[in-house]
Chains A and B, each alone.
Chain A
Amino acid sequence: MKEDAMMHISMEPSDLKHMKNGLPLTMNGVAATNGEVKYRGHEQPVLNDSVHPAFPPPVSSSAAQPSSHLCESHDEMFEEPPLLIAFFTYVGYAILVIFGYIKDFYRKIGLVNHLQTTDPREKEGYVPLYSSFESFYTRNLYRVIRDCFNRPICSVPGAEITLKDRVSHDYGWTFQFTGTTTRCINMASYNYLGFAQNSGPCFEEARKSIHQWGIGMASSRNESGTLELHVELEKQVAQFVGKEDAITFGMGFATNALNMPGLVSKGCLIISDQCNHASLILGARLSGAAIQVFKHNDMVSLEEVLRNAIVQGQPRTHRPWKKILIVVEGIYSMEGSIVNLPRILELKKKYKTYVYLDEAHSIGAMGPRGRGVVDHFGLDPKDVDVMMGTFTKSFGSSGGYIAGSKELIDHLRTVSHAAMYATSMSPPVIQQIITSMKIIMGEDGTLEGQKRIRQLAFNARYFREKLKAMGLIVYGHKESPVVPVLLYMPGKIACIIREMTKEGVAVVGVGFPATPLIESRVRFCLSASHSKEMLDKVLEKIDVAADLLSMRYSRLHPYNKH
């Protein structure tokens, strides 16, 4: 199976028949798609009515044979925009900037005034708090579309979500609630397995735990904040991800930021994917280790950086690095891509480095047993040195964990900043994780967990294929439950969010600085709680919006081939 995968990965990107306009397609991981969807393994048992016969769930039926789709692991695509679109995007920014200057001028002569733009201290002679560029950007570009973000909700962020309506009488500076609400299909929350619920076993257990334990801990793990519940959770997490031991914290962001310094320090090297999450970057920075970056999910680039690093040693002194840690994510939440883990583990062995894998989005959501990307590729968890993940997504809770060998976790217990100083996890939050994880593992005695995993896998494939068929540029891996669709122009972010909300679909739009300047996008997160009918309804609305906003940029599609 492994050689098979290797062969595929090292294949030349020869299949470029889709290159119509002379612009190349960027294909990650080098393996090329030829358009047809190919499924390996056995006939899939149809699980429920909503499973479309044309799109059988991709997961293999038994846990014993998890890697049946290994060889397709890296057909992941990042189609580049037509030149003209890139050009118009820049023009769009230029126009926004010009209008920004006009608005700033009005502000300067006192025509308009807002609390958020006036610094009471600046008049007293203090140095301005913000550099002019960043405040210009937020004041004039972000503010205009501020209604699309931070929208308050008043329901569970489940398959559907209820938004509180609000209006702004001052162009997005302040908002007032109107008292009405809008019900939307929720394509925005990271509720991959649908555990954001206010009924059912998770809810019941969480409620019981509030009564039993309260909600506050008011102490750190190492001082006086370890309940029996914490110990139980850590045992269970270790068992779930297949490691000897695990340690848990109250926030995923802090798990990265505060534990990396315990693993590497000055004289060590962190090799980090270009698209890594802010918390990983912060952790790397706090650790004091040197940081080098490789191109997003590009194994050739990674190997180059690795070779160079080992051969050259530390800058100036040329001493060898103490240790090298490759830091990657399982699923990248803005790109929808899946890490090329098989290749990374090969490189790790070849170059004797360590691997830190952040499974924030992939734990629960990937693999036939929901155990993350390691499970998805059918690899051995023992090969990944540090397995990090969060409970905020698939488990519908909050917090993060690090799993590893007993030696490693014991080390972290004694040096982790978070274990030493940060307050330990709240009991109902833990209980939610324990119960949902038991359901995923099937320990509740039902097939509920398996059902959710398969439904999510089906939803992810189905939705992505349909979007591609519409001629949209969709980034990422075909099995990823995160589906970003490219808009390019920043103005379209607001358009699509407003339009979709009006039609009853809640979506997330992201632009610069979370993405490269010209790659504004709208992102859909699939959930096991979405039914096929819901997805069809969403697809229908997107189809309409795609015409309205001319989003069909893809040249891979017959639609645009002429």
Chain B
Amino acid sequence: MGGHWVPNESPSIVQLFHAIIDAPLYHLVVEGLLLIWVFWLIFRKSYNPKDKAPLTEKEEDDLIEEWQPEPLVPRNSPSFDPDHPALNPRIIQSKIGKYMVVKGRKCLNVSTHDYLCLNEEPSVEDASVKSLEQFGVGSCGPRAFYGTAGHVHVFFEERLAKFLSCQEACLYSYGFSTIASAIPSYSKRDDVIFADAGVNFAIQKGLVASRSEIRYFRHNDMDHLLELLLEQQRLDEKNPKEAKVTRRFLVVEGIYMNTGDLCRLPRIVELRRQFKVRLLVDESISFGTLGKTGRGIFEHYGIPNSEADLITGTLEYALSSVGGFCVGTSFIVDNQRISGHGKSSSGYCFSAALPPLLAAGALAALEYIESSRGIAAIERLRRNCLLAQVEWGDVPGMELVGDAVSPVKHLQFKDRSENLKDDSRALQKMVERAEEMGVALTSACYVEDEDVCMPPPSIRLVVSSALDDGDIRRVADVLRRSAPRPGR
């Protein structure tokens, strides 16, 4: 425009006015025409295949009439197989402990994750009855809204944090929802999570819920993890701006539910430091079973808990109650108590608090673990695990996978048939035969279409501290006798 226009300096209204007045007429004409052209470009009806003539109501009605939805239960639902094990579950007629009664028969139990047999511990029972007398059963509200039982939830959290030498603990009302809620409360869209390909299903769901980018490394393969981390590093160097806001997480299990393996924690901690990823460890199985005093995988390897950013665990296995927990620094754990974050995924904020009697039972169980009896039980458990590894490994046609010190072991076929279903069925038969011989086993169940890392079909054997050497040998004997004949 006119000569008064000084770039980089915002013109005052007066200056602008002068500029217009000073401009020669042809300028104004040309600019006016340009302006009209621009308006025409903006407002003309552009050709858009989408808004061809809208449908008439009649046409819409016809389309709606035409539409045939699929049935709610998919035609290929596994439930149409009447022999599906889920439709014919084992029905237990007694308290679950060292033994359980099935169809009137007393069976030795190597199928439930009650590693220390605390479901039969009188002090746990007493504590939960006492809590029942004070609080009743339900909490009738989330933790934030008067669902927090002072003597129970708060004490348990303090006690647990102290037990694991962490600043803070928070208690969930369901084991499954613990890690599944914890992951998305930190990792968001555009963040990156490195996860072991063998992680359990709850973790997988947490990963999906976070909507972050997931990079699976081969189960327990540290070289592959290193490879992925290096790849990420290269990416980060290319986009330093993005790298500055992309949070990175590493998710592993202490003992893997699906394989019975221990994670390679020392190497993982090294990599965490080197690449500055935040480490989340699910100690569902390892809590209460590994380490001299049952403090878990970190104690087992002699590494301080503070190396992990967040440790999650469950009250449902070693503590023999219901619920789950997260421990870590206050900075991290406190975040889960606040509803502002991850509105859609927090099972902590948007669910009723754990019934006080269950928390009280877990508290008594934790006290038991801390006592000398508990330490002795953990020692016995370790011995049993080692013995079982030897005794149960000797089943013709089958192999026992899992770490020797792990209380969870998988018995699977050495050579698998093409069809997973055949193997599963053979194992199901084996479970039934063992039951008749007085040993309760279970085959590991998976949602076949959804599990990203479907392990091969197996019998999941669980060692508990209540077994003695004779029991372990008896189980070995039953395993050998009930195993499918070669050729199945």
Which positions in A face B, CB cutoff 8 Å?
115-121, 124-131, 134, 137-138, 142, 149-158, 161, 163-164, 177, 186, 188-191, 195-198, 202-203, 206-207, 210-228, 231, 250-254, 257-258, 261, 263, 277-279, 281-282, 285-286, 307, 310-311, 320-324, 351-354, 385-386, 390-393, 395-398, 407-408, 410-411, 413-423, 425-426, 428-429, 432, 506, 508, 513-514
Select one of B136, B144, B200, B447 contacting A149, CB under 8 A. B144
Of the A-B pairs whose beta carbons lie under 8 Å apart in the complex, a sample of 15, sorted by A's number, is A119-B329, A149-B145, A164-B150, A203-B133, A216-B316, A218-B119, A218-B320, A224-B112, A385-B72, A414-B78, A415-B78, A423-B174, A426-B322, A429-B137, A429-B322
CB neighbours (8 Å) of A212 from chain B are 95
Taken together as a complex, chains A and B put the C-alpha atoms of A119 and B202 apart, in Å, by 27
* Interface residue SS majority, chain B: loop
B344 located at the interface, meaning its Cβ lies under 8 Å from any Cβ of chain A in the complex: yes
Q: Which residue of A lies closest to B315 (CB)?
A: A216
CB neighbours (8 Å) of A320 from chain B are 67
Report yes or no: A196 in contact with B350, Cβ–Cβ below 8 A.
no
Select one of A190, A390, A407, A417 contacting B447, CB under 8 A. A417
Report yes or no: A214 in contact with B148, Cβ–Cβ below 8 A.
no
Report yes or no: A408 in contact with B329, Cβ–Cβ below 8 A.
no
CB neighbours (8 Å) of A128 from chain B are 247
B271 located at the interface, meaning its Cβ lies under 8 Å from any Cβ of chain A in the complex: no
Q: Which residue of B lies closest to A148 (CB)?
A: B144
Report yes or no: A352 in contact with B78, Cβ–Cβ below 8 A.
no
Known interface pairs A215-B119, A218-B114; 6 further A-B residue pairs with C-beta atoms within 8 A, sorted by A's residue number? A125-B276, A126-B278, A279-B347, A323-B70, A417-B450, A420-B446
Report yes or no: A210 in contact with B132, Cβ–Cβ below 8 A.
yes
Known A-B contacts A213-B95, A279-B350; the reply to A414 vs B79 at CB < 8 A is yes
Q: Which of B354-362, B387-395, B467-475 contacts A (4 or more CB under 8 A)?
A: B354-362
Closest 6 CB pairs of A and B: A152-B150, A216-B320, A253-B351, A251-B174, A392-B352, A422-B176
CB neighbours (8 Å) of A253 from chain B are 173-174, 177, 347, 350-351
B35 located at the interface, meaning its Cβ lies under 8 Å from any Cβ of chain A in the complex: no
Select one of B86, B120, B133 contacting A419, CB under 8 A. B86
CB neighbours (8 Å) of B442 from chain A are 219, 223-224
Select one of B89, B100, B278, B361 contacting A216, CB under 8 A. B361
Report yes or no: B67 in contact with A215, Cβ–Cβ below 8 A.
no
Q: Which of B261-269, B332-340, B366-374, B377-385 contacts A (4 or more CB under 8 A)?
A: B332-340
CB neighbours (8 Å) of A127 from chain B are 243-248, 276
CB neighbours (8 Å) of A281 from chain B are 343-344
B139 located at the interface, meaning its Cβ lies under 8 Å from any Cβ of chain A in the complex: yes
Report yes or no: A421 in contact with B72, Cβ–Cβ below 8 A.
no
Taken together as a complex, chains A and B put the C-alpha atoms of A227 and B100 apart, in Å, by 10
Q: Which residue of A lies closest to B144 (CB)?
A: A149
CB neighbours (8 Å) of B200 from chain A are 421
Report yes or no: B78 in contact with A207, Cβ–Cβ below 8 A.
no
Select one of B55, B73, B93, B111 contacting A408, CB under 8 A. B73
CB neighbours (8 Å) of A252 from chain B are 351-352
Known A-B contacts A226-B89, A422-B176; the reply to A307 vs B60 at CB < 8 A is yes
Known A-B contacts A215-B357, A263-B72, A421-B176; the reply to A115 vs B67 at CB < 8 A is no
Chain B contributes a number of interface residues (CB within 8 A of A) equal to 129
Report yes or no: A251 in contact with B113, Cβ–Cβ below 8 A.
no
Q: Which of B18-26, B121-129, B215-223, B297-305 contacts A (4 or more CB under 8 A)?
A: B121-129
Report yes or no: A221 in contact with B136, Cβ–Cβ below 8 A.
no
Report yes or no: B329 in contact with A115, Cβ–Cβ below 8 A.
yes
Report yes or no: A506 in contact with B146, Cβ–Cβ below 8 A.
yes
CB neighbours (8 Å) of A391 from chain B are 138
Taken together as a complex, chains A and B put the C-alpha atoms of A29 and B129 apart, in Å, by 48
Taken together as a complex, chains A and B put the C-alpha atoms of A155 and B131 apart, in Å, by 10
> Nearest Cβ in chain A — how far from B332, in angstroms?
7
Which positions in B face A, CB cutoff 8 Å?
55, 60, 63-64, 67-74, 77-79, 84-87, 89-97, 100, 109, 111-114, 118-120, 124-125, 128-129, 132-141, 143-151, 153-154, 167, 173-177, 180, 186, 188, 200-202, 205, 208-209, 211, 243-248, 276, 278, 309, 314, 316-317, 319-322, 329-332, 334-335, 337-341, 343-347, 349-352, 354-355, 357-358, 361, 440, 442-447, 449-450, 460
Q: Which residue of B lies closest to A174 (CB)?
A: B330
Known A-B contacts A115-B330, A415-B78; the reply to A188 vs B146 at CB < 8 A is yes
Report yes or no: B113 in contact with A322, Cβ–Cβ below 8 A.
no
Report yes or no: B177 in contact with A323, Cβ–Cβ below 8 A.
no
Report yes or no: A223 in contact with B335, Cβ–Cβ below 8 A.
no
CB neighbours (8 Å) of A129 from chain B are 186, 247, 278, 331-332, 335
Taken together as a complex, chains A and B put the C-alpha atoms of A100 and B79 apart, in Å, by 56
Known A-B contacts A253-B347, A285-B209, A414-B84; the reply to A226 vs B91 at CB < 8 A is yes
CB neighbours (8 Å) of B248 from chain A are 127
Interface centre among A117, A253, A352 (most CB of B within 10 A): A253
Q: Which residue of A lies closest to B322 (CB)?
A: A426
Select one of A310, A385, A429 contacting B355, CB under 8 A. A429
Select one of B55, B128, B344, B447 contacting A210, CB under 8 A. B128
Known A-B contacts A216-B320, A217-B316; the reply to A153 vs B113 at CB < 8 A is no
Report yes or no: B91 in contact with A228, Cβ–Cβ below 8 A.
yes
Known A-B contacts A210-B129, A415-B78; the reply to A279 vs B92 at CB < 8 A is no
> Nearest Cβ in chain A — how far from B80, in angstroms?
8
Known A-B contacts A222-B445, A226-B92, A227-B92; the reply to A154 vs B321 at CB < 8 A is no
Select one of B113, B124, B347 contacting A215, CB under 8 A. B124
Interface centre among A161, A215, A385, A411 (most CB of B within 10 A): A215
CB neighbours (8 Å) of A385 from chain B are 72
Report yes or no: A198 in contact with B146, Cβ–Cβ below 8 A.
no
Known A-B contacts A196-B136, A215-B320, A413-B79; the reply to A421 vs B69 at CB < 8 A is no
CB neighbours (8 Å) of B129 from chain A are 207, 210-211
Known A-B contacts A286-B209, A414-B87; the reply to A203 vs B337 at CB < 8 A is no
Report yes or no: B205 in contact with A415, Cβ–Cβ below 8 A.
no
Report yes or no: B309 in contact with A121, Cβ–Cβ below 8 A.
yes
Taken together as a complex, chains A and B put the C-alpha atoms of A254 and B209 apart, in Å, by 13
Known A-B contacts A214-B95, A410-B79; the reply to A418 vs B447 at CB < 8 A is no
Report yes or no: A282 in contact with B209, Cβ–Cβ below 8 A.
yes
Report yes or no: B175 in contact with A423, Cβ–Cβ below 8 A.
yes
Report yes or no: B89 in contact with A222, Cβ–Cβ below 8 A.
yes
Known A-B contacts A129-B247, A186-B146, A351-B64; the reply to A218 vs B331 at CB < 8 A is no
Taken together as a complex, chains A and B put the C-alpha atoms of A392 and B347 apart, in Å, by 14
Q: Which residue of A lies closest to B338 (CB)?
A: A138
CB neighbours (8 Å) of A423 from chain B are 174-176, 314, 316, 322
Known A-B contacts A120-B331, A282-B209, A397-B138; the reply to A157 vs B68 at CB < 8 A is no
CB neighbours (8 Å) of A119 from chain B are 329, 331-332
> Nearest Cβ in chain B — how far from A413, in angstroms?
5
CB neighbours (8 Å) of B173 from chain A are 251, 253, 398
Taken together as a complex, chains A and B put the C-alpha atoms of A124 and B306 apart, in Å, by 14
> Nearest Cβ in chain B — how far from A280, in angstroms?
9
Report yes or no: A216 in contact with B96, Cβ–Cβ below 8 A.
yes
Taken together as a complex, chains A and B put the C-alpha atoms of A501 and B70 apart, in Å, by 53
Q: Which residue of B lies closest to A229 (CB)?
A: B92
Report yes or no: A513 in contact with B111, Cβ–Cβ below 8 A.
no
> Nearest Cβ in chain B — how far from A177, in angstroms?
7
Report yes or no: A432 in contact with B68, Cβ–Cβ below 8 A.
no
> Nearest Cβ in chain B — how far from A245, in angstroms?
11
Taken together as a complex, chains A and B put the C-alpha atoms of A322 and B86 apart, in Å, by 26
> Nearest Cβ in chain B — how far from A312, in angstroms?
9
Report yes or no: B335 in contact with A228, Cβ–Cβ below 8 A.
no
> Nearest Cβ in chain A — how far from B329, in angstroms?
6
> Nearest Cβ in chain A — how far from B247, in angstroms?
5
> Nearest Cβ in chain B — how far from A281, in angstroms?
4
> Nearest Cβ in chain B — how far from A519, in angstroms?
15
Report yes or no: B350 in contact with A277, Cβ–Cβ below 8 A.
yes
CB neighbours (8 Å) of B95 from chain A are 212-214
Taken together as a complex, chains A and B put the C-alpha atoms of A415 and B358 apart, in Å, by 28
> Nearest Cβ in chain B — how far from A560, in angstroms?
30
